[in-house]
């Protein structure tokens, strides 16, 4: 299916691995030129080279932390007029006991998961409005909708991000600038894969057995964890020309774990 975005340019922020990288690859396969950013320069350069080789589009790596003013400025200098903006970041540490969360932890969570994407969107949104085309997708977490103590440093800040994105989406939709959010559940990113491998080694079982045990423990109706490519394809669809009437939505992608009618 041709998504109608070939030749456009996307900034994929925080996207050298996992779901962000999958989104960048899915967009590149649609003929979108990519500006790829992350903090780790070596992994970023490798991801950019792999995506370019696989798709033939231009992929520009920008080593930058978009949670900082300097990082956002570097992205703006590299690509002042993107058509598409996909934003994600590494998840914060889990918090087994809410009493252990310090003020500095809350501030770091807000800086990275809320204020950084807000400022990044604000940097590029007016240009999208003027050009009458823009697609913005935040890759957040299902914890924004399903509160849990272990994900307190992730869920509340992403709930705030969703609130902001919905409000702004209503203001700019008439200009064909579309904001949406993806709320992934448990996905086999490097972080989860490493954890499963460590737990499997500690229990003396195969990785596949430990993975299946986790799926059963969390009662995932789909019977498996998600793959980053699942999110990448959905992000690309929300960036397409067909997404102009999907405004301010937060789509849960978790294999059916979170159930609600609306």
Residue 175 belongs to a domain with what CATH number? 3.40.50.720
| Mean per-residue pLDDT, 93-119 | 92
Measured CA to CA, the distance from residue 137 to residue 128 in angstroms comes to 14
pLDDT in tens, 200-235: 999 999 999 999 998 998 889 999 999 999 999 999
Q: Is residue 3 part of a domain?
A: no
On whether both 76 and 199 belong to a single domain, the answer is: no
Q: Nearest-5° angle of CA 43, CA 73, CA 232?
A: 45
For residue 147, CA distances in Å to 18, 58, 61, 102, 181 come to 23, 40, 35, 18, 17
Tell whether 85 and 210 lie within a shared domain.
no
Question: What is d(CA 213, CA 21) in angstroms, rounded to the nearest whole number?
Answer: 27
| Same-domain check for residues 193 and 206 | yes
- State the Cα–Cα distance between residues 85 and 69, nearest whole angstrom: 17
140 plus 238 within the same structural domain: yes
Looking at the fold, whether 146 and 202 belong to one and the same domain comes out as no
> In this structure, is residue 1 part of a structural domain?
no
Q: What average pLDDT is seen over the chain?
A: 93
164 lies in some domain: yes
Nearest CA among 36, 40, 25, 39 for reference residue 82: 36
Question: Residue 171: which domain range?
Answer: 9-187+228-252
Residues 151 and 215 in one domain: no
What does the pLDDT average to over 150-175? 94
Mean per-residue pLDDT for 152-179?
95
- C-alpha distances (whole Å) from 121 to each of 66, 127, 128, 164 are 11, 11, 10, 11
- 127 and 45 within one domain: yes
Looking at the fold, whether 13 and 130 belong to one and the same domain comes out as yes
The pair phi, psi for residue 136, each rounded to 5°, is -125, 125
Residue 260 resides in a domain: no
pLDDT at residue 124 greater than cutoff 70: yes
For the stretch 242-259, pLDDT in tens is 999 999 999 999 999 887
**44, part of any domain:** yes
Place of tokens 């499997």: 200
- What residues does 9 pair with on adjacent strands? 33
* Beta carbons within 8 Å of 33's beta carbon, 6+ residues apart: 7, 8, 9, 10, 57, 58, 59, 60
Rg over alpha carbons for the chain, rounded to the nearest Å, is 18
The reply to whether 262 falls in a domain is no
252/262 Cα distance (integer angstroms): 11
Q: 112, 71 in Cβ contact below 8 A?
A: no
Note whether 121 and 213 are same-domain residues.
no
Q: For the chain, how many structural domains are there in total?
A: 2
- Do 216 and 239 lie in one domain? The reply is no
Question: Quick one: pLDDT at residue 230?
Answer: 94
pLDDT above 80: residue 11: yes
Tell me what the mean pLDDT of segment 132-153 comes to. Answer: 92
Residues 91 and 160 both lie in one domain: yes
Smallest CA-to-CA distance from 240 within 91, 99, 30, 76 is with 30
- Domain co-membership, 143 together with 175: yes
């Amino acid at each position: 299916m041709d998504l109608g975005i070939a030749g456009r340019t996307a900034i994929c922020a925080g996207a050298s691995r996992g779901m962000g990288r999958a989104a960048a690859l899915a967009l590149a396969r649609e003929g979108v030129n990519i500006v790829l950013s992350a903090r780790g320069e070596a992994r970023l350069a490798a991801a950019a080279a792999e995506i370019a080789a696989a798709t033939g589009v231009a992929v520009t790596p920008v080593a930058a932390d978009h949670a900082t003013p300097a990082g956002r400025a570097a992205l703006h200098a590299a690509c002042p007029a993107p058509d598409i903006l996909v934003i994600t970041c590494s998840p914060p540490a889990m918090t087994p006991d809410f009493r252990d969360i310090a003020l500095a932890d809350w501030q770091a969570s807000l800086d990275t998961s809320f204020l950084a994407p807000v400022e990044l969107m604000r940097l590029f949104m007016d240009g999208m409005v003027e050009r009458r085309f823009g697609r913005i997708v935040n890759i957040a977490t299902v914890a924004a909708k399903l509160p849990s103590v272990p994900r307190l440093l992730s869920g509340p800040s992403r709930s705030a991000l969703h609130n902001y994105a919905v409000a702004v989406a209503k203001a700019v939709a008439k200009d064909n600038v579309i904001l949406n959010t993806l709320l992934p559940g448990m996905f086999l990113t490097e972080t989860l894969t490493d954890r499963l491998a460590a737990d499997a080694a500690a229990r003396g079982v195969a990785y596949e057995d430990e993975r299946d045990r986790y799926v059963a423990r969390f009662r995932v109706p789909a019977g498996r964890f998600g793959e980053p490519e699942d999110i990448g394809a959905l992000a690309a669809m929300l960036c397409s020309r067909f997404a102009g009437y999907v405004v301010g939505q937060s789509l849960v992608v978790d294999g059916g774990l979170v159930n609600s009618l609306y």
